[in-house]
């Protein structure tokens, strides 16, 4: 099994390290690879789109020929986790800054998103949130220029909220997180993603 992390920008190494740790905890053997160009995505059993600057990330992925590969992988049922900017990229529709900039999205998940919904870099924060899918113990979520999911289609399962704002959701093989699980020592969300790869 091979798990690929899009490595054009963002928290790449943190995701690699978290995946390796989660794999070790789960006793699962897999290779974690970084992806900087086309040709690797079709060989992966799972994919991670990390945080970063979503407009730049999508533009660079398109330039490298990775957008169509990602869309084809999703259509084949390959599990994909998008965190922060990765969440924005998974969406079918965006409002606010996404509309203003004409940002292209992968259009994979039936969600509408608002980029930087929680404010700028100086407004970054950490908060304990309850995610029943990974257990009763709260998860310390790190929000950095975080987006929010403003609406979900019928096939989307809401996994977590901050107040009334949706910050984690799943639709089949797609997992979208507004925060950065790779910046904590808590591997439960990466373990949850691995369970998706194994078929729950």
Which residues belong to the active site?
84, 180, 182
Token duo for residue 122: 């100086």
DSSP state, residue 149: E
Residues 6+ apart with CB under 8 A from 108: 70, 71, 74, 80, 90, 91, 92, 174
Q: Find out whether 114 and 148 touch, Cβ atoms under 8 Å.
A: yes
DSSP state, residue 173: T
CA distance linking residue 172 with residue 49, whole number of Å: 16
Q: Find out whether 140 and 165 touch, Cβ atoms under 8 Å.
A: no
Computed over its alpha carbons, how large is the radius of gyration of the chain? 15
Residue 156, SS3 per DSSP: coil
């Amino acid at each position: 099994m091979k798990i690929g992390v899009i490595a054009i920008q963002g928290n790449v190494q943190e995701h690699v390290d978290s995946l390796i740790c989660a794999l070790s905890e789960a006793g699962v053997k897999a290779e974690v690879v970084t992806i900087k160009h086309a040709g690797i995505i079709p060989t992966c059993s799972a994919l991670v789109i990390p945080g970063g600057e979503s407009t730049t990330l999508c533009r660079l992925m398109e330039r490298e020929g990775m957008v169509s590969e990602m869309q084809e992988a999703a259509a084949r049922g390959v599990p994909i986790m998008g965190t922060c900017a990765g969440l924005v990229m998974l969406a079918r529709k965006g409002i606010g800054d996404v509309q203003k900039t004409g940002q292209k999205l992968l259009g994979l998940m039936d969600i509408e998103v608002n980029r930087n919904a929680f404010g700028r870099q100086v407004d970054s924060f950490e908060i304990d949130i309850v995610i029943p899918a990974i257990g009763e113990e709260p998860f310390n979520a790190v929000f950095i220029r975080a987006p929010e999911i403003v609406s979900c289609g019928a096939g989307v399962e809401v996994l977590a909220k901050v107040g009334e704002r949706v910050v984690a959701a799943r639709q089949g093989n797609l997992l979208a997180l507004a925060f950065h699980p790779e910046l904590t020592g808590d591997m439960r969300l990466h373990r949850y993603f691995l369970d998706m790869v194994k078929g729950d």
